[in-house]
Amino acid sequence: MTALATIPRTALAVAGLLVVHAVLPVGFWRDVLYVAVGVAATVATARAARRSTGPLRPAWVLLALGLAAWVLGDTIWTVLERVLRTDPFPSLADVAYLASYPLLAAGLVKAFPAPAGRRPVWLLDAVMVASGGLLMLWLLVLRPALSGWAEDPVATTVGALYPAGDAVLLLVLARSFAAVGTRSRAHQRTSAAVGVIMLADVLFQLSSTWPVLDAHAYLLDTLWLLGYLLLAAAARHPSASRVPAPDPDGELSGVNLAFMIGSVCVLPATLIVEALRGGPVHLVEVCSVGVVLIVVFMTRFGGLLRQMSRQHARLDHLAVTDPLTGLANATGVARRLERAAHEPGADGTLPAVLLVALDGYRDVVETLGYGVADDLLRAVAGVLGRDAEPGATVGRMGRDVFALAIDVTAPEEAEAAARRLLDRLAAPVPVRGTDLAVGALVGVAVATARPASAEALAGRADAALSVARGLPERVALDRTGGCDRAGSALPEADLLLGLAAGVARGELVVHYQPVTSVHGGTVIGAEALVRWQHPEHGLLGPVAFVPGAERTGLVRPVTLYVLDAALAQCARWRATGAAVSVVSVNVSAHDLDDPRLVGDVRAALDRHGLPADALGLEVTETMAMRDGVRAERTLRALADLGVQLAVDDYGVGYGSLDYLRRLPFTVLKVDRAFVAPALEDRVCAEILRSTVDLGHALGMHVVAEGVEDAATLALLRDLGCDAAQGWALGRPGPASALDAPGGAAAPAVLPTQADAPAAPASPATAPA
C-alpha cells in the first residue's frame, strides 16, 4: 500500500487503462477504445506543442503530426475492417502510416540536435549502435518482404517501406543517444515512445510468419497505445521546452559502449544460430555489415586518437601555462631552466634566472580588490613579455612573483638585465583606465657552469630576491657561485636541511650587542643575535640561514633556542649584579602568526624565574603589518603578559601613525639608514629629530641603531634620544663581554666576518 501511494495517480490511471484494453475481447469496442485513446494522446501532444514557444516548438509540432498520422492510419483501418468489413492492402491507412515515419524521424532530429560545428561522430556511433538491429530488420523483415516483388510490385514496395521506416527510426534513436550529452526526462520518454511504436510495428510485421506472434497479435495494439501515451507525457513534461545539452566532446559513455558491444555481438551470433538451426547461413549479409562496421570503427576510433592527441597537447600546454597571464607557470619555467642548464650554450653563455616581485601588489589588493590586482598582473605580464630578450622565457611563479630565464655571458649581464626590468616597471602601469605605480625588486642568480641544477639556480635567485627587499637599489645578485652543479645542493638548501639537527646538537650561538644610555653612557640592555657554529662552514651570521628558515617555516626552533638562551643569560646577569637586566629578542612574521608564541614566552620566563619586563621582543613594522589583525592580537597578548615590545628598523617599512597608535609598542628603534648619515645629510637629521619627538610624544622609549662614531652619539644626545646601539658603543659578542658590573659599555673592536654589518635583508628572527 505504501509503494502504491508513491506512484502518481496519472501513472496508475494510464496503467489501468492499458490493462483494461489488453483484457478486452477482440472486437468493435476494443478498437473504439484504442482509437479514442490514440486521439486523446494526439490532442494532448498537439496542445503541448502549440503552447511551446521556444526553439523546440517545430520539433514537437513534427512529433505531434507524426503521432496524428499514425492514429489516423489506425482510424482508417478500424473503419475499413469493422464498419466496411474490408481489408484491402495497400490502402489509405498505409498512406497515413508511412507518412508518420519521416515526421517522427524529423521531429526526433530537431528535438535532440547534435552539437554545431563538430564532426558528425554521432552518426558513426549511431551506425555502430544500430548495426545489429539493422541486420535483424533486413534478415527477418525487409528481405522476406521483397521476395514477392515479381507477383505484386506495388504491395511489395509498400510492405518493404515499413521495415525501411523502422530502420530510419532506429538510426535516428541511436543518433539522439550519441549526440545528446544530458538526457532529460522528456528525451527519455520520447525515446521510449518511438522505440515502443517501432517495436510494436516490427513485431506486427513478423506476426505473419511467426505463428506465436500471430496468435497474440491483438496485444500489439496495447503496446502501440503505450507508445502514444509516452509521447504525450514527454510533450507535457517541463523539460520538453529546454534544448538538451549536446555532447560537445563526442565521448563514448558507458551506455553507448554497452549498446555497441551488444550490437556488434549480433553479427557472429546470427551466423552461429543459423548454423545450429541447419538453415541457410546469410554469410554475405553478415560479412557486408561487418565490413561496414570495421570501416566505421576505424574511422571513429581514429578520430578518438586524434582527439586524445589534441587533448594531450592542450593539457601539456595547460600544465606549463599560468591561466591568469598566459605566461609560463613555475613548471614551465623549471622545464626551460632544466633544458638550458644541460644544453651547451652558444658562445659560452650560462643560464640565469631573474625573479621579479611587485612591491605594491598587496596594497592594490587591499585597496582596490583582487579583480584590479589580477588585471595588474596581466598588465605587468604584458610588459615583461613585450620587452623580454630574444630567446628568454617569461613566467609567473606565483601571486606577484615573475621569472625571466635567459642566457648570459657573465653575471654582470644578468644584473644589467635586471636593472632594465626595474626601469621598465618603474613607470605607472595602465589598469582599467588608471595608472598604477607598483615598483618591483629583482633577485638574480647565474649558473657557474653547465650542466647546472635548475632547482638550485631558482633557489639562489629566490634567496637573492629576499636580500633585494632590504636594498635601496632593489636588485640583488647572488654571488655565492659554487655548488650549483647538477646533482649538488645549493648551500642555503644544504644549511636548511641541517638546521633542525644543528639546533638539537646545540650548534647555535647567541651573541649580544649592548644597548647604551645616550646620556649616562651605561649599558641598560642587550639585544640577542643568533649565529651558527657550523661544523663545516664555520661561524655563520644570520643572513646565511635565517631568511631561508623564515621562507620555509623552519624558524620556530631557532626562535625558541634564542629565547631560552637569552633569558637564561639574563637570569645569570641579574644574579651576578651585572648592569644588563633586560634582554631583547627579534621575532619574525612566522612567529607572530604562530598562536603558540605567547605560551612559549610565558613558559620561558617561568622556567628562568624572570619577570616579564626582563624581556623585550623586537618586531619590524613591515612584519607587524603583514597580517594586521593577527599581529595585533598576538602583540596585545604579549603586552598583557608584561613583555616590552619594540618597533625595529623604524622608517624603512610601510608603517603609519595609526599603526603606532593602535599597537602596544613601548620602544621605537630608528633604523641605521637615518642615523648613520645624519651628520652629513640634513634631511636624515630632520627625519631623525622628528622621529625622536614622535616616539616621545607617543610615550615610547627611542633607541637609535647604527651609531658608528662619537659625533653621532653627541647628536643623539642633543636630540634627546634615550638609547643607542652601534659599533661605536660595542659590537655583538659573547655574553662575557657584558658580565662586568657597573654597566660600562664594551669597547669597540674590529668585527668578525660573522658580525660584519651587511645590507639589510628580509626581517629575520635575529638580524645581523
Q: How confident is the model at residue 342, as a pLDDT?
A: 60
* Dihedral angle computed from the Cα positions of residues 62, 68, 69 and 74, in that order, rounded to the nearest 10 degrees: 160
Alpha carbon distance 111, 186 (integer Å): 10
Alpha carbon distance 293, 132 (integer Å): 10
For residue 349, give the C-alpha cell: 653563455
Burial zone of 80 (CB within 10 Å; 0-12 exposed, 13-18 middle, 19+ buried): middle
558 touches 592 (CB < 8 A): no
Alpha carbon distance 84, 76 (integer Å): 10
> Other C-beta atoms within 10 Å of 327: how many?
25
Q: Which helix (H) or strand (E) holds 649?
A: strand 644-650
Distance of CA 379 to the CA centre of its chain: 21
- Before 767, cis peptide (omega within 30)? no
CATH number of 498-738: 3.20.20.450
Q: How confident is the model at residue 248, as a pLDDT?
A: 53
Alpha carbon distance 762, 567 (integer Å): 25
90 touches 154 (CB < 8 A): yes
Residue 435 identity: D
For residue 472, give the C-alpha cell: 635601496
Q: Are strands 583-586 and 538-540 parallel, antiparallel or unpaired?
A: unpaired
Residue corresponding to grid cell 654589518: 757
> Other C-beta atoms within 10 Å of 413: how many?
16
Alpha carbon distance 733, 389 (integer Å): 48
Q: 217 Cβ partners below 8 Å, 6+ apart?
A: 204, 207
Residue corresponding to grid cell 498537439: 46
Look at residues 504, 355, 373 and name the one whose alpha carbon lies nearest to residue 441: 355
Residue 374 identity: D
Q: Residues 638-655, buried b or exposed e (16+ Cβ, 10 A)?
A: bbeeebbbbbbbbbbbeb
What global pTM score does this model have? 0.48
- Before 547, cis peptide (omega within 30)? no
Look at residues 360, 504, 352 and name the one whose alpha carbon lies nearest to residue 418: 352
Going by the DSSP 8-state scheme, the letter that residue 327 receives in this structure is S
Strand order of the sheet with strand 401-408? Answer: 393-398, 401-408, 350-358, 440-446, 475-477
Q: 208 Cβ partners below 8 Å, 6+ apart?
A: 214
Q: How confident is the model at residue 220, as a pLDDT?
A: 87
Alpha carbon distance 39, 33 (integer Å): 10
Alpha carbon distance 44, 689 (integer Å): 92
Write down the number of H helices and E strands in the chain: 30, 16
Alpha carbon distance 442, 424 (integer Å): 12
For residue 16, give the C-alpha cell: 489501468
Is 403 in a helix, a strand, or coil?
Answer: strand
> Other C-beta atoms within 10 Å of 744: how many?
15
Is 625 in a helix, a strand, or coil?
Answer: coil
Largest CA distance in the chain: 135
> Other C-beta atoms within 10 Å of 625: how many?
19
CATH topology for the 330-489 domain: Alpha-Beta Plaits (3.30.70)
- For the chain, residues with pLDDT lower than 70 are 1-8, 114-122, 179-182, 244-256, 259, 277, 279, 340-347, 451-453, 479-494, 551, 621-628, 651-656, 658, 740-768
166 touches 202 (CB < 8 A): yes
Angle between helices 28-51 and 219-236 (to 10 degrees): 20
For residue 379, give the C-alpha cell: 598588465
Alpha carbon distance 459, 133 (integer Å): 65
Alpha carbon distance 468, 462 (integer Å): 10
